[in-house]
């Protein structure tokens, strides 16, 4: 069970290394197996290559083990993707989450395959493991089953899984059935339990920043009966938390709730073009969060 970690920012809107390291420790203590840093939730595509590499180095220097990290390395330019991925390997991280090139639209599977092929060939490191990142609502570049099959045939030990953030459960279960041994990870928190029961591998989710302990419980106890009150309660809290952060824009909602939990107002900072919630929405979010905490 992996957390798609938020990235705290300092007053200059740069990644706050110390606070991020503390957040990683918190998530691991709450039961996460690893931290998927610098993904969509972590505002990765608002950061430069140097900012991303510096944050990864700081986290490892701060005591987080390389095998507890899944950095996002996929960007629009495949040469930058290569640089980020090589850097991850150089500091001991062998598994990365990789978006397809996403700026140009309506690119064929051949074009996307060519990009991944170029990246893998130029890196030329057998240690590398890639989790593909399917988030068509953001990238506008879906990863088809035919493309997955082609990549797995060419690089069976490198293309090891996919994070599916489409919310399409049918697509996730179809991949589980079609690709035995391929790790299918949901990006939607409420789908963790049903996906595990269909043979999925787990999740990389945003709401884990708030309910990691519940997600970890579901991951460990998904084989238990639906009559298990603790499992049902954990799943109910996960669903309510996801609904809460989806009421308004997700990233500012998550950061506002992190600020409320930690007492550190700086957690609310986002890098433009993302914006904090308007005052009326923030008030409503926190009121609903208080009710949710009381109910839990």
Residue 153 has a pLDDT of 98
Residue 291 has a pLDDT of 73
Tell me: is residue 73 an annotated ligand-binding position.
no
Residue 114 has a pLDDT of 98
Tell me: is residue 41 an annotated ligand-binding position.
yes
Residue 138 has a pLDDT of 94
Q: Which of 163, 198, 217, 220 is catalytic?
A: 163
240 annotated active-site: no
Q: Which of 65, 116, 133, 283 is catalytic?
A: 133
Residue 296 has a pLDDT of 56
Distances from the Cα of 196 to the Cα of 134, 157, 220, angstroms:
18, 23, 10
CB-count burial class (<10 Å; 0-12, 13-18, 19+) for 114: middle
- Counting as low any pLDDT under 50, the low residues of the chain are none
Domain segments of the chain as ranges = 2-230
pLDDT digits (tens, 9 = 90+) for 231-282: 999 999 999 999 999 999 999 999 999 999 999 999 999 999 999 999 999 9
SS3 for 84? helix
69: which 2 tokens?
């990290």
CATH architecture of 2-230: Alpha-Beta Barrel (3.20)
> Cβ of 206: how many Cβ atoms within 10 Å?
27
pTM attached to this predicted model:
0.96
User: Which has the closest alpha carbon to 270: 68, 67, 74, 40?
Assistant: 40
Residue 295 has a pLDDT of 56
Residue 1 has a pLDDT of 94
- Cis peptide upstream of residue 173 (ω within 30 degrees of 0): no
CB-count burial class (<10 Å; 0-12, 13-18, 19+) for 23: buried
133 annotated active-site: yes
Phi, psi of 162 (to 5 degrees): -145, 140
């Amino acid at each position: 069970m992996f957390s798609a970690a938020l990235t705290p920012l300092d007053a200059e809107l740069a990644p706050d290394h110390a606070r991020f390291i503390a957040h990683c420790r918190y998530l691991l203590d709450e039961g996460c197996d690893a931290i998927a840093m610098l993904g969509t939730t972590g505002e990765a595509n608002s950061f430069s290559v140097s900012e991303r590499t510096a944050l990864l180095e700081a986290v490892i220097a701060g005591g987080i083990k390389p095998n507890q990290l899944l950095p996002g390395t996929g960007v629009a330019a495949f040469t930058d993707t290569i640089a980020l991925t090589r850097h991850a390997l150089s500091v001991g991280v062998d598994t990365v989450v990789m978006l397809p090139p996403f700026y140009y639209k309506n690119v064929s599977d051949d074009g996307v395959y060519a990009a991944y092929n170029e990246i893998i060939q130029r890196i030329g490191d057998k240690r590398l493991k890639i989790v593909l990142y399917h988030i068509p609502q953001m990238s506008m570049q879906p990863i088809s089953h035919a493309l997955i099959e082609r990549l797995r045939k060419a690089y069976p030990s490198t293309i090891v899984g996919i994070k599916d953030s489409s919310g399409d459960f049918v697509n996730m279960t179809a991949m589980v059935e079609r690709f035995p041994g391929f790790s299918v990870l949901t990006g939607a928190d409420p789908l963790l339990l049903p996906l595990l029961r269909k043979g999925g591998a787990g999740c990389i989710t945003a709401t884990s920043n708030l309910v990691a302990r519940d997600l970890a419980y579901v991951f460990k106890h998904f084989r238990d009966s639906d009559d298990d009150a603790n499992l049902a309660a954990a799943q109910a809290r996960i669903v309510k938390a996801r609904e809460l952060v989806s009421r308004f824009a997700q990233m500012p909602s998550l950061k506002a709730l992190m600020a409320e939990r930690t007492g550190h107002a700086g957690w609310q900072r986002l890098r433009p073009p993302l914006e904090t919630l308007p005052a009326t929405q923030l008030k409503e979010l926190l009121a609903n969060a208080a009710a949710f905490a009381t109910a839990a």
